[in-house]
Amino acid sequence: MIDVGGQILRVGIKAGRKDKPALLMFNGIGANLELAEPFFQALTDTEAVIFDIPGIGGSPAPLLPYRPSTLAKLAHDLIVQLGYDQVDVSGVSWGGGLAQQFAFQFPETCRKLVLVSTSAGMVMLPGAPNVLLKMASPKRYTDRGYMKSIAAEIYGGAFRRDPHLIDRHAAAMRGSTQYGYALQLIGMLGWTSVPWLWMLQQPTLILSGTDDPLIPVINAQLLATLIPKARLELIDDGHLFVVTDPQRSAKMVEAFLDEP
């Protein structure tokens, strides 16, 4: 638990080499930091940092709503407080928007960018309406049985082929409050990165599942078109391939981060 400018954050750090930048990771909506643990464990020598967004997991909710720029500043203040001069930044789904905002807002601090199963915000081509409706509530994080029943439908990919894969993911969930979840939804209302993506100069790896019911591949293709130094890699899986296949995901990310 770390006090960052008056906001208490629950932070997770995976130790790694000190002679290369650490990886700062932003989780998906409603997701507590434990859900990233399989991916973190699969990283070989990369130091990695993640924190619960205020109102999610173990980070107390703020009194007032926030915007992506507010959270990016909070994350920047955290890594400075932890002693990092420069980091690589990754974001999954909702966290991918926050990763884009961080890279734009703090270009000197963000060396490389990894965007996973994400979009450019409000201009995105959304998934099926019945899938998006299930994402409007944090029920899947408070009711493990419900999560198991809808995982294949909302996440696709390996969850369709092996329903038991969701068990480990569900076991790591810590209940997201209605208020904390609502703050995340409200925070991204009207936000889009499209006007300034062309300004991002970080080498960027974009990863997208070919069977993603939430954020179809066309959104990743748009990001890859608009970000100057972007590379798109398609994964034969669903929205949460970092969960279903953390070893392969970590290997791809580390290979990119280690490139000159």
Residues 6+ away with beta carbon under 8 Å from 182: none
Cα dist from 111 to 104, 174, 188, whole Å: 11, 31, 24
Q: Is residue 258 exposed (0-12), middle (13-18) or buried (19+ Cβ within 10 Å)?
A: exposed
Residue 93 is a catalytic residue = yes
The single residue of 59, 90, 93, 119 carrying the catalytic annotation is 93
User: Are 240 and 162 in contact, with CB atoms under 8 Å apart?
Assistant: no
Report the C-alpha gap between 168 and 35 in whole angstroms: 9
Helix (H/G/I), strand (E/B), else coil: 81: helix
Angstrom distance (rounded) from CA 194 to CA 221: 13
The DSSP-derived string for 226-250 is HSTTEEEEEESS-TTHHHH-HHHHH
Active site residues: 93
